[in-house]
Structure 1
Amino acid sequence: MKFYLISLGCPKNLTNSEEFSARLLAKGHEMVFTPEEADEIIINTCGFIDSAVQEAKGEIRWALAQKKAGVVKKVAVTGCLVERFKETVAKEFPEIDTLFSISAQETVEETLTKQGVILEPLSKSLYLPEYKMSLTAPHTAYLKVADGCNNRCAYCTIPFIRGAYRSKPMEDILREAELMTQNGVKEISLIAQDTTSYGTDLYGKPQLVELLEKLLNINGLGRLRIMYGYPHRVTKELARLMAGTDKIFHYLDIPLQHIADPVLKRMNRHCNAAQIRATLDMLKTEVPDISLRTNFIVGFPQETEKDFNELQHFVQEYEFDNMGVFEYFREQGTAAYDMEQIPQEIKAERSAALVETQSRVIDRINKRLLGTTLEAIADGPDFGRTYKDAPDIDGKVTFTKPVETGRIFKARVVAAEGYERELEPLAD
């Protein structure tokens, strides 16, 4: 069977695509890169927010049109959309040949031989995948250390989709990282819904620092990158570990969502503004060159002008290197769904204003970056990223001269405008 894969959504979903695709390849099936070459289209969907749902449905319609036109024989759909909406997707798209849940991905070859809806309960444990391939560049890879979430934020559908927080056993993560390193991966990004809770379910307390210490002992390890930390669970111990090694990029993705206490409380975030500020101040003290990425939601129910102004001032003050801004969208089944909503035009105005505020922040950061030396990684001969930029999420940089793809090196910033920066590679 020749299959054409469409993988939507976040890096955590991408790792699922990598795992079940590798299982198919190991059994003699072939991945192709145009639908015209394929027997079957497989779509791994996202269903986190409405825009992702609509994107997934658009891809399903396109795939079914390919089937109707005789380009492919079958269409299979899996992922978060299926997990969230289950049988309703089958009712909306009865032409789908195989509609299967996330757990059914673990037996993907057998699953794809079946017709109809295959729903299996989420596994209570995470295990080392038997096979794994990379759908990213060969030198960079995501390593999922946990799945699911227990935080129950008022706006979020993840607990309904991915279930309770489940950590992968430490020895399995180490084996996976060793295999990645042996296969030429230079940058391993650790991902979960909340990496800072890693191990709580297995070992009785968070074990991210202990995991990192063991990963640092892997022979030939390139760099580690930490994604998706929860603010008040980022510890001084973690910061000092990062500061003490060049094997962990001095980068941290901490989705903060807001800074005004009334909004944080309604969001059911388990931290307040004082804790957030204390965490950020600690990180900047312990790791002076720390690069911070975050996300904010504007227009959350009952967000006042005062709340939003506090958020704007906070963004100006803390100068995040990378930042996502999202207008709150009402998701059925979440606690915030029945709260008093804010008009769409106000959400749009606040989103545009916060993006503009961040643009001015980037201008200030760029002035300080000019002439400085940063560690970078080459994604191609003439482009790549600095340690400040996560793959597929943050910005890219260009180089003044060719660099071997996958190389990690020092470079001088010679030009910077917005998120576009040019680096001059330096001699080793």
Structure 2
Amino acid sequence: MRIFIETLGCEKNTADSESAAGILERAGHEIVASPTQAEVIMVNTCGFINDAKEESINRIFDMAEYKKNGGILIMSGCLSQRYGEELYEQMPEVDIFLGVNDYKNLPRILEEHKNGRRDKYINTYEKVYMELGKRKQSKPSYSAYLKIAEGCDNICTYCIIPSIRGKYRSRKKEDILAEAKELAENGCKELILIAQDVTAYGKDLYGEYCLAELLRSLCEIEPLHWIRLMYCYEDRITDELISIMAEQKKICHYIDIPIQHGSDVILKSMNRHSTRDSITNTIKRLREAMPDIHIRTTMITGFPGERQEEFEELVAFVEEMRFERLGVFSYSKEEGTAAALLKGQVREDVKLKRKDWIMSIQREISLECNQKHIGETLEVLVERREDDGSYTGRSIYDAPEIDNEVIFTSTRACDIGTFVNVKITDAFDYDLIGEVEEEK
């Protein structure tokens, strides 16, 4: 069958979709680039917050328009796992509902599916990490996400992910290294480690946190040039982890830490294990070890119980920490979470006003951070050539799709997926401007 896969949501969904594509290809199916070519359309959905759920539902309706006579529409992923039973009754357009634990069974599911019949496969998670075989990459081969664990044990009061993805299951180190080597052999130069909590890696499997040890082994894979860390919890950023980040040239001086707030009252209500003081101390340790490190984080405004006092604490915290990269979400009240039952729910207009206020502060901080790069030469990964002949890429300080870009000119052709040295000549709120340095 000709199958089109569309992925919504986070990088973990991207990895799942690539695994599903690999499974389907090995079973003899063809992955196509457009829904107009497809006999089967699969939308891998996100069910994390209300906006993501709405986007997923709308996209399903869009894709239903492409169904040909006898065509099959599949809803997979977090939204299907979370609401599959209800959506089965409400969305007759969908032929198959597939949870996050059923991708390995896709070939059999398609083989057994009968025209006119509707099915749902929403199974619970397995107790160990489930290997799905070689992925078919949907992104350029020079950059790849590598999932090192599944599930989450943190039980933050606002988050539904543990109910969807299950308990934390680390992937065996040998399986991670085998996939990393294969990706590198196929041209991967930037490896981005992902999980719901990257810093928890190994505790369930080996009895201790093993991220630093894993990184040391990954750095030995010769073709890899950059290794990037996403989703690191502050309370598990150990001295050993900081040390190996500072020592190993391949590990980007970049770290993504979802901090969420700057008020101890709100952090406690969120069931976070960090405090304002512990976060401040960890940021200090990171910056002392790597003065050039760029820290990405996220904040939530309007969490239940966030009075003006707690919001002002958040504002002061953002101004004090001066994070190089920061995103803000307004709190989304999710059924099935403890936070949805808390008193002191904040009005929607107040949540959004507070979000906009934090982002206005961050724009100034981001511009100031970017201006510090003027006159520097940064190594840049070339990602595309623009119509005007200029190029766009990313520095070591930026993850794909969510962070800044470097826009630059060159007197010689630059190949996509290669590294060039770019002298920064100007800076905006979120992007840098530069020109390739001439080879001597």
Structures share fold, TM-score greater than 0.5: yes
2:388 paired residue number = none
Number of aligned positions between the proteins: 426
**1:406 aligned onto 2:406:** no
Cα distance, 1:427 vs. partner?
4.7
Counterpart of 1:108? 106
Q: CA deviation at 1:109?
A: 1.1
Aligned-residue identity in percent: 38
Residue 393 of structure 2 contacts residue 407 of structure 2 at CA under 8 Å; is this kept in 1? yes
State the Cα distance separating 1:333 from its structure 2 match: 0.7
Residue 360 of structure 2: which of 338, 356, 371 is its match?
356
Structure 1 unaligned residues grouped into runs of 5+ = none
**Paired residue for 1:391?**
400
Give the drift of 1:28: 2.4
In structure 2, do the counterparts of structure 1 residues 30 and 335 end up closer, same or farther at CA, with 3 Å as the change threshold?
same
Q: Structure 2 residue aligned with 1:250, among 250, 253, 258?
A: 253
Distance 2:70 2:435 in 1: 47
Residues 37-186 of structure 1 aligned to structure 2 (within 5 Å): 37-67=37-67, 70=68, 73-113=71-111, 114=113, 115-186=118-189
For 2:278 and 2:289, how far apart are their aligned partners in 1? Answer: 16
Any idea what the Cα deviations from partners look like across 1:207-252, whole Å, max 9, x if unmatched? 0001001111113222110000001111121111111121111110
Deviations 1:272-318 (A, max 9, x none): 11100000000000111101000000000011212111211221222
| 1:72–1:371 distance in 2 versus 1, CA, 3 Å | farther
Amino acid at match of 1:411: V
Do the aligned residues in 2 keep the contact of 1:66 with 1:72 (CA within 8 Å)? no
Number of the residue aligned with 1:196 = 199
- Alignment partners' CA distance in 1, 2:132 and 2:421: 34
Deviation at 1:124, TM superposition (A): 1.6
**1:100: Cα distance to partner?**
1.4
CA distance in 2, matches of 1:142, 1:121: 24
- Give 1:105's aligned amino acid: Y
Native 8 Å contact 1:41 1:72 kept in 2: no
- Give the alignment of 1:198-277 within 5 angstroms: 198-277=201-280
Report the CA distance between 1:407 and its aligned residue. 1.4
Task: Render the CA deviation track for 1:81-134: whole Å, top value 9, x for unaligned.
Answer: 111112111111123111111221012111223341122221222244322111
d(CA) in 2 for partners of 1:43 and 1:126? 23
CA distance in 2, matches of 1:134, 1:167: 22
Which moved further from structure 2: 232-241 or 151-160?
A: 232-241
Aligned 8 A contact 1:103 1:122 in 2: yes
Describe the superposition over 1:372-418 as per-residue Cα deviations: whole angstroms up to 9, x where unpaired. Answer: 12222111241111111101221222121142211123322111111
**Conserved in 2, the CA contact under 8 Å of 1:98 and 1:112?**
no
Q: SS state of the match for residue 102, structure 2?
A: helix
Amino acid at match of 1:412: K
Contact 1:375 1:411 in 2 (8 A): yes
Contact 1:128 1:176 in 2 (8 A): no
CA distance in 2, matches of 1:357, 1:404: 37
Secondary structure (helix, strand or coil) at the match of 2:21 reads helix
Q: Spell out the pairing of 1:364-383 with structure 2 (5 A cutoff).
A: 364-381=368-385, 382-383=391-392
AA partner of residue 357 (structure 1)? I
Q: Could you tell me how far 1:72 is from its partner in structure 2?
A: 7.0
How many Å apart are 1:38 and its aligned residue? 1.1
2: CA distance, partners of 1:415 / 1:370:
6
Contact 2:76 2:98 in 1 (8 A): yes
1:425 aligns with 2:429: no
Deviation at 1:27, TM superposition (A): 2.4
1:32 maps to a residue whose letter is V
Separation (CA, whole Å) in 2 of partners of 1:252 and 1:97: 41
- Separation in 2, partners of 1:405, 1:65: 35
Q: Secondary structure at the match of 1:268?
A: coil
- Could you give the per-residue CA deviations for residues 50-78 of structure 1, whole angstroms, max 9, x where no partner exists? 111111111111122332xx377110111
Alpha-carbon contact 1:35-1:71 (below 8 Å) kept = no
Q: Report deviation, 1:43.
A: 0.7
What is the letter of the counterpart of residue 203 of structure 2?
T
- RMSD over aligned CA atoms reads 1.4
How far, CA to CA, are the matches of 2:376 and 2:321 in structure 1? Answer: 20
Q: Which amino acid aligns with 1:182?
A: E
1:327 maps to 2:325: no
Contact 1:47 1:80 in 2 (8 A): yes
Distance 2:261 2:10 in 1: 21
Structure 1 CA distance for aligned equivalents of residues 277 and 301 of structure 2: 20
User: How many Å separate the matches in 1 of 2:13 and 2:19?
Assistant: 10
Quick one: structure 1 residues 72 and 306, their matched pair in 2 at CA, closer, same or farther if it must change by over 3 Å? farther
Rate the CA distance shift 1:127–1:143 in 2: closer, same or farther, 3 A: same
Counterpart residue type for residue 335 of structure 2: Q
Indicate if the aligned counterparts of 1:412 and 1:425 stay in contact, CA closer than 8 A.
yes
Structure 2 counterpart of 1:419, which letter? Y
Of 398-407 and 178-187, the range deviating more from structure 2: 398-407
DSSP 3-state at the match of 2:383: strand
Do the aligned partners of 2:226 and 2:396 also contact (CA within 8 Å) in 1?
no
SS of the residue 1:369 aligns to:
coil
1-structure distance, mates of 2:70, 2:427: 46
Letter in structure 1 aligned against 2:377 = T
* Residues 10-56 of structure 1: per-residue CA shift (max 9 Å, x gap): 00111000001111122222222222211111111110111111111
The residue identity in structure 1 corresponding to 2:5 is L
Q: Which amino acid is the alignment partner of residue 109 of structure 1?
A: P
**Deviation at residue 264 of structure 1 after TM alignment:** 0.3
